[in-house]
DNA sequence: AATATAGTTTACGTTAACGTAAAGGTAAAT
DNA sequence: ATTTACCTTTACGTTAACGTAAACTATATT
């Protein structure tokens, strides 16, 4: 087992270009193994990519997305750093709350607009 | 009444630069009245700005944000266009659902990471 | 053996969303 | 009257996140 993926495997699965994936590597967000020249992506590489893309969908910069992903593998022994990490988590959490609020409001607004549209259509029909 | 605002009023309120607001005007997303040279923003101008910024926080491009805001003032008499608008609403709604899912997952992940951090800190303390 | 397919590196190009600087206008306060 | 505080337009600059093209390698298929 231990599932491996080629670059185009992942590109297809997540609907991005290979260029994008290589770019993430250039920026230090991914570091796949090599078999000769070719990149071999492990299950955990795939997970990292998935998390990065999730961050991007939420409007994060690559840098921010990278920081979030790095949270997942603390690897830090230092108390201060762990505390700093927790602070960052809290900060990001607040952003997510705000975003969720934005989404709820926008959904509500969209329903309003839709209602108005449907009424307008109905009136047209009545003519 | 009828509340009016200067450009810096809005800039302060929404924590953006005046440059940003003027840029939105350049791109046709805002069209404030003038008093001499100066821009005068009405209540509805302010609302438009608020909606645009909300869209931006959700990762929309200026263009997309503009389209959404324009939904709020259909102004269309045409049945087909109303139907098209409803379709766009539905499409955007799907995106918001996806985003909300992303947020929930990330919040869950953050909680996990936090838990691990706290445990690590606890162990350190135990030493 | 030749063609197709998928991979590689290097490097310049593009676009959106402003930043920033220059050069100036207007109105109130000192 | 001149300093202060905002406002204006014009226009070039910047950055992130890739796109795109060129030139090359390796493997597999016909």
A83: chain B residues, CB-CB within 8 Å: 121
Q: What is the mean pLDDT of residues A14-26?
A: 98
Q: What is the mean pLDDT of residues A22-45?
A: 97
Q: What is the pLDDT of residue A40?
A: 98
The whole-angstrom separation of Cα B71 and Cα B86 is 9
SS (H, E, C) B57-112: HCCCCHHHHHHHHHHCCCCCCCHHHHHHHHHHHHHHHHHHHHHHHHHHHHHHHHHH
A68: chain B residues, CB-CB within 8 Å: 106
Q: Are residues B35 and B83 in the same domain?
A: no
Q: Are residues B33 and B68 in the same domain?
A: yes
Pairing status of strand B33-35 against strand B38-40 = antiparallel
The whole-angstrom separation of Cα A62 and Cα B78 is 42
Q: What is the pLDDT of residue A108?
A: 95
The whole-angstrom separation of Cα A108 and Cα A98 is 15
Which residue of A58, A74, A116 is in closest CB contact with B103? A58
Cβ A93 vs Cβ B107: under 8 Å: yes
Q: What is the pLDDT of residues B15-55, one digit of tens each?
A: 999 999 999 999 999 999 999 999 999 999 999 999 999 99
Contact: B107, A96; criterion CB under 8 Å: yes
Q: Are residues A58 and A94 in the same domain?
A: no
Q: What is the mean pLDDT of residues A51-64?
A: 95
Cβ A22 vs Cβ A34: under 8 Å: no
Q: What is the pLDDT of residue A24?
A: 98
Q: How confident is the model at residue A38 (pLDDT cuts 50, 70, 90)?
A: very high
A32 at interface of B, judged by CB pairs closer than 8 A: no
Cβ B7 vs Cβ B21: under 8 Å: yes
Q: Are residues A89 and A59 in the same domain?
A: no
Contact: A103, B100; criterion CB under 8 Å: yes
Q: Which residue has the higher pLDDT, A89 or A78?
A: A89
Residue B107: closest C-alpha in chain A: A93
Q: What is the pLDDT of residue A119?
A: 87
Count how many domains chain B has: 2
Q: What is the pLDDT of residue B80?
A: 84
Q: Are residues A16 and A28 in the same domain?
A: yes
Size of interface A-B (CB pairs under 8 A): 100
Q: Are residues B61 and B84 in the same domain?
A: no
Q: Are residues B14 and B31 in the same domain?
A: yes
A31 at interface of B, judged by CB pairs closer than 8 A: no
Q: Are residues B27 and B64 in the same domain?
A: yes
Q: Are residues B125 and B98 in the same domain?
A: yes
Mean pLDDT of chain B: 92
Residue B77 predicted with pLDDT over 80: no
Q: What is the mean pLDDT of residues A45-64?
A: 96
Q: What is the pLDDT of residues A97-115, one digit of tens each?
A: 999 999 999 999 999 999 9
Residue B122: closest C-alpha in chain A: A79
B71: chain A residues, CB-CB within 8 Å: 110, 113
Contact: A105, B59; criterion CB under 8 Å: no
Q: Are residues A53 and A91 in the same domain?
A: no
CA B36 / C1′ C23 distance in Å: 19
The b/e string for B115-125 (b: 16+ C-beta within 10 A; e otherwise) is eebeebeeeee
The domain in which residue B124 lies consists of 78-127
CATH number of the domain bearing residue B51: 1.10.1660.10
**pTM (2 decimals)?**
0.89
Q: Are residues A67 and A14 in the same domain?
A: yes
The whole-angstrom separation of Cα A116 and Cα A121 is 9
Q: Give the angle B53-A88-B117 at the CA atoms, nearest 5°.
A: 145
B108 at interface of A, judged by CB pairs closer than 8 A: no
The packing angle between helices A43-57 and A18-26, to 10°, is 100
Q: Are residues B60 and B89 in the same domain?
A: no
The whole-angstrom separation of Cα B101 and Cα B107 is 10
Q: How confident is the model at residue B119 (pLDDT cuts 50, 70, 90)?
A: confident
């Amino acid at each position: 087992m231990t599932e491996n993926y080629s670059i185009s495997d992942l590109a297809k699965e997540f609907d991005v270009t290979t260029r994008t994936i290589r770019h993430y590597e250039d920026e230090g967000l991914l570091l796949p193994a090599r078999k000769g020249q070719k990149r071999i992506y492990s299950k955990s590489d795939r997970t990292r990519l998935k998390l990065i893309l999730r961050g991007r969908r939420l409007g994060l910069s690559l840098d921010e997305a990278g920081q979030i992903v790095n949270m997942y593998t603390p690897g830090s022994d230092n108390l201060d750093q762990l505390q700093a990490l927790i602070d960052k988590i809290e900060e990001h959490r607040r952003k997510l709350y705000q975003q969720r609020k934005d989404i709820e409001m926008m959904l509500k607004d969209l329903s309003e607009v839709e209602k108005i549209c449907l009424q307008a259509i109905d009136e047209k029909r009545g003519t």
